[in-house]
């Protein structure tokens, strides 16, 4: 099945082919006609489709409006076959499970991919926007730390430290996460945070792609990112920082792309989108009174942003000493919702 963008391309290409056929037939059947055609325009169609190559088509079409009407009514011109596009746009159903498609770009870099994300559709009464927010509850893949995936699509080495040291070419497919000072595993808090954010997004008209909707999902970081690339309009991973040595709540920040990575694709084409989304999220959190760490961002080389082809950020919502009660998580969710709304209203 095809996405909505692919469907629009297919329909317009079909229209152009039909128009050229009619033009050729008219030339053969009306050789004696001296009537001039006054309505001629050049249609340039360039659509970038997630997970596919850019489709570029430039053709001269006569009376495009007439042709479009004929296609929409399934009317077959004399001497031609009835042309009806067979391809339909993807329209995901509520609670549909979405697995990794092996034909998607970078899918072959994933090592753990037997699980599925879950698509939640916003109710129509919420003023459904037709925007899909990818919400990634960090960690939560049993066995993920024992499997390695390439840090970068081109196989190059990591340029900064983090959960994986600089210079490494492979990283844990999904790390285990940290433990809060009260003994709560990070993976439990990120899932609860994702659920609260999901509900707020749905009530505000956003569809939500939950990359992890339960305690365990067998999708590594590459798989989660690639699914988001092809189904969602942005990708927000939820985490709390670890190993910072602080015994107090350090506050929120997003992981930005290091300068050394900004010339590597697909980072080069998307890092500015990542930064814009991250900045809006941080400002939304600030408006809700959340503590913001430093300048609100930190440059770290991550698998997520190294493979992302949509606006994508890792949001660090504090550290091991942060309050992770439901009340605190609801405040954070309000801030993230505000940032998401600001981003998509630009």
Q: What is the mean pLDDT of each run of 10 residues along the chain (346 residues)?
A: 42 44 42 38 38 39 40 38 45 95 98 98 96 98 98 96 90 96 97 98 98 98 98 98 88 97 97 98 98 97 98 98 98 98 95
Would you state the pLDDT for residue 244?
80
Which are the contacts of 344, defined by CB distance < 8 A and separation ≥ 6?
129, 131, 233
Would you state the pLDDT for residue 252?
98
Angstrom distance (rounded) from CA 229 to CA 105? 9
If we measure between CA atoms, which residue out of 293, 237, 307 comes closest to residue 265? Answer: 307
Would you state the pLDDT for residue 206?
98
Q: 66: alpha, beta or left, given left = phi > 0 and alpha = psi -120 to 50?
A: alpha
Structure tokens at 5: 């963008």
The DSSP bridge pattern shows strands 292-299 and 252-256 to be parallel
- Beta-bridge partners for 185: 179
Query: By three-state DSSP, how is residue 145 classified?
Result: helix
Would you state the pLDDT for residue 346?
85
Q: Indicate the DSSP class of residue 260.
A: G
Angstrom distance (rounded) from CA 211 to CA 224? 6
Would you state the pLDDT for residue 45?
40
Domains of the chain as residue ranges with CATH: 4-72 (no CATH), 96-344 (3.40.630.40)
Tens-place pLDDT, residues 163-198: 889 999 999 999 999 999 999 999 999 999 999 999
Angstrom distance (rounded) from CA 320 to CA 213? 23
Tens-place pLDDT, residues 95-122: 999 999 999 999 999 999 999 999 999 9
Would you state the pLDDT for residue 89?
55
Identify the H or E element spanning 194.
Answer: helix 186-203
Would you state the pLDDT for residue 80?
35
Structure tokens at 107: 């899918």
Model confidence, pTM? 0.76
Query: Among positive and negative, which fits the CA dihedral 314, 315, 318, 324?
Result: negative
Residue with tokens 């309000």: 334
């Amino acid at each position: 099945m095809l996405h909505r963008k692919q469907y629009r391309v297919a329909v317009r290409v079909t229209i152009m082919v039909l128009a050229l056929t009619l033009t050729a037939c008219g030339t053969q059947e009306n050789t004696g006609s001296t009537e001039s055609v006054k309505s001629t325009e050049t249609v340039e169609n360039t659509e970038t489709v997630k997970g596919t190559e850019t489709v570029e088509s430039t053709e001269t079409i006569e009376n495009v409006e007439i042709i479009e009407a004929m296609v929409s009514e399934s009317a077959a011109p004399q001497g031609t076959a009835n042309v009806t596009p067979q391809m339909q746009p993807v329209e995901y159903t509520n609670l549909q499970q979405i697995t990794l498609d092996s034909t998607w770009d970078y899918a072959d870099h994933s090592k753990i991919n037997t699980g599925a994300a879950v698509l939640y559709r916003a109710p129509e009464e919420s003023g459904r926007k037709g925007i899909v927010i990818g919400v990634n509850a960090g960690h939560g893949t049993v066995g993920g730390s024992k499997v390695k995936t390439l840090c970068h699509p081109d196989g190059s080495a990591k340029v900064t430290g983090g959960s994986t040291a600089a210079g490494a070419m492979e990283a844990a497919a999904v790390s285990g996460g940290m433990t809060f000072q009260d003994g709560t595993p990070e993976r439990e808090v990120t899932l609860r945070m994702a659920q609260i954010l999901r509900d707020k997004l749905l009530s505000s008209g956003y569809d939500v792609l939950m990359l992890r909707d339960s305690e365990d999902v067998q999708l590594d970081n590459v798989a989660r990112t690639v699914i988001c690339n092809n189904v969602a309009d942005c990708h927000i991973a939820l985490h709390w920082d670890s190993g910072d040595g602080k015994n107090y709540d350090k506050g929120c920040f997003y992981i930005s792309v290091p300068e050394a990575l900004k010339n590597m694709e697909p980072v080069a084409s998307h890092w500015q989108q990542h930064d814009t989304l991250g900045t809006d999220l941080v400002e939304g959190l600030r408006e809700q009174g959340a503590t913001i760490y430093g300048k609100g961002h930190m440059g770290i080389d991550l698998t997520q942003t190294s493979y992302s082809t949509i606006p994508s950020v890792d949001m660090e919502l504090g550290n091991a000493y942060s309050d992770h009660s439901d009340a605190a998580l609801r405040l954070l969710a309000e801030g993230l919702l505000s940032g998401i709304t600001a981003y998509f209203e630009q």
